[in-house]
Amino acid sequence: MNMNTNTRIKNLIKLKSGMDTSTPGENYFLSVLNQRIKETNCANAENYLEKLLSDKVEIENLIDATAVPETWFFRDHTQLKGFVDYFKQKKLHSPDKKINILSLPCSSGEEPYSIAICLLESGATAKDFSIDAVDIRPDAIAKAESATYRKNSFRAKDCEDLFKKYFKQQGTSYVVNHSVTEHVHFKHVNMFDLKFSAHEQEYDFIFFRNLLIYFDTDTQARSLRLLHRKLTDTGILFTGPAESLVVTANLFNADSSYLYAFGKTSPEQQKALLKTHSKNVKKILHFNRPADKAEKLARPSKRIKPLNISKHQKHNRPDKDKKSSQINRIEEARKYANQGDLEAAIAMCHESLNHDKMIDEAYYILGVVNSSRNNLEESERYLRKAIYLNPEYYEALIQLAYIVETKGKIEEATRLKKRAKRIYET
């Protein structure tokens, strides 16, 4: 296959969709390309390129096949819980406003349905919110509309109760209840199409997860300019763990580095903005959920539990009190990080590590907070420690992959991403 032809095909994909085919990897791209050449009965890549240049449908087929649709329900449950807090704050501020949410890209629908379920669980009803969900792949949108899923979409741990409550089993498939689907409106959209970008609809929350990594630098900047226009002034943009550095380099400010949540303005400006809007501001900024907090503290953190107490401390198992103080410290650190109080988050992580050097989540939070401050060396050091203590720490692997990639270590980044992917595949 001629190298030049391949490059021209890749450039066509980039021009039409913004996707950089090097992110899913050369082998993935070649297997997709060979498959399309075979299915269109073309003799070789040159013939196929000719077809692409004259056949609008085939370029769409190729983009569809290249776009990686990988997704699952409650992919980042921590972020979704944080989102619900943001949602409640907004509702306190404007009780009668319908909150508009965008899931872009939504792939086969697992993400927007997860958002709807979390909101329903928090007590929200139809008058409170509406979700638009878009993706470039028509087959993904068709699957999303069918609301029917197989086991592979249910990889998140600790969500069995939600699965039981909001899905009905039909043979080997699971169908999302109507009480959820009625809140989500799907559309087949290329985010760079004028029809979408020029549309005036603004959103209070945008989930823009796991697409930015497939774009080259220019397209990343272009997509973030577009989302900046689509987000309301006090809106929040949520991304995936690997994308935070790109977002803060392009128009947005981290509102919570731990939740990968970004605003158009700094948290201080946001507060000022809210103050001018409402007398209720004190309530909003100090919005507290004692019941939730108590529940959180009572429930051991997912990562502290396996904190390798048995692995690393077989002969020195901490007693219950010691363990729950550590849980409290990590919860506090997380809370500070969520609120944007990075100094306090760092201090709390160090306090936790002073008591026990084996807390993987303390290293992870230090890694995330340092990366949001652009201290990449420090961030890398902490993330490596988190992964050393917990080799299956998905978020830490992804965050570290992005940092080493930024430093030009592409091979290591690819290895880390593959390792992270395997965690969910096993």
In the complex, which residues of this chain contact ligand SAM (CB under 6 A)? 17-19, 67-71, 75, 105, 107, 111, 135-137, 140, 189-192, 209-211, 240
Alpha-carbon span 126 to 389, nearest angstrom:
44
For residues 148 and 62, is the Cβ–Cβ distance under 8 A?
A: no
Nearer to ligand SAM, 71 or 220 (CB): 71
Can you spell out the DSSP letters for 316-373? SPPPHHHHHHHHHHHHHHHHHHHHT-HHHHHHHHHHHHHH-TT-HHHHHHHHHHHHHT
Q: Distance of CA 259 to CAs 239, 360, 363, Å?
A: 8, 17, 16
Residue 153 CB, shortest distance to ligand SAM, in Å, is 10
Q: Which two tokens stand for residue 214?
A: 């497939």
Residue 123 CB, shortest distance to ligand SAM, in Å, is 25
Q: Is 262 in a helix, a strand, or coil?
A: strand
Nearer to ligand SAM, 28 or 287 (CB): 28
For residues 217 and 186, is the Cβ–Cβ distance under 8 A?
A: no
Alpha-carbon span 231 to 201, nearest angstrom:
9
Nearer to ligand SAM, 17 or 379 (CB): 17
Nearer to ligand SAM, 68 or 285 (CB): 68
For residues 298 and 216, is the Cβ–Cβ distance under 8 A?
A: no
Nearer to ligand SAM, 68 or 221 (CB): 68
Q: What is the DSSP letter of 215?
A: B
For residues 183 and 98, is the Cβ–Cβ distance under 8 A?
A: no
Residue 8 CB, shortest distance to ligand SAM, in Å, is 19
Alpha-carbon span 354 to 107, nearest angstrom:
43
Alpha-carbon span 10 to 17, nearest angstrom:
11
Q: Which two tokens stand for residue 326?
A: 């550590």
Among 182, 207, 203, which residue's Cα sits nearest to residue 125?
A: 182
